Structure 1
């Protein structure tokens, strides 16, 4: 079986599978990555809202903060499939 065989077998919308593969390709060894939603949408040629729906299907997300207390990017952790 291939690298993405588990995601192929999941009962998920195609948008979720596409975003999953994009994020999995960009994750570190802990399964974490933090690209902007706009970046994901642009690179996959999807609407921003489509990406947001896929993320809700696939990920846990956590707001990251700068040392000065300002907001930084979101930290996404892929759910285990």
Structure 2
């Protein structure tokens, strides 16, 4: 629900793990485990983002769009 609330119209968002953990009052490991579970279930796709200087940035998350039948 947290990522859904922060996603744009295309289902993309990019909050940092630390930000998610702090705002939800969870440990970073709990957040990482939950994201991994969402990836395994096909509800989320994660992509690494990079800074212009080559350093890592927060991940980009793509939320699975519900089927419109």
Q: Which TM-score applies when normalising by structure 1?
A: 0.66
Q: Which TM-score applies when normalising by structure 2?
A: 0.75
Aligned length: 61
Change (3 A) 1:41 1:22: same
Q: Please state which structure has a larger fraction of its residues in strand.
A: 1
- In the TM superposition, residue 52 of structure 1 has moved relative to its aligned partner by 0.5
Match of 1:30 in 2: 10
Deviations along 1:30-81, one digit per CA (max 9) or x if unpaired, are 1010000011011101111111011112221111122333322210112345
**Which structure is higher in RCO with an 8 Å CA cutoff and minimum separation 6?**
2
- In the TM superposition, residue 27 of structure 1 has moved relative to its aligned partner by 0.2
Distance 2:26 2:37 in 1: 16
**Unmatched runs of 5 consecutive residues or more in structure 1:** 1-20
Q: Please state which structure has a larger fraction of its residues in helix.
A: 1
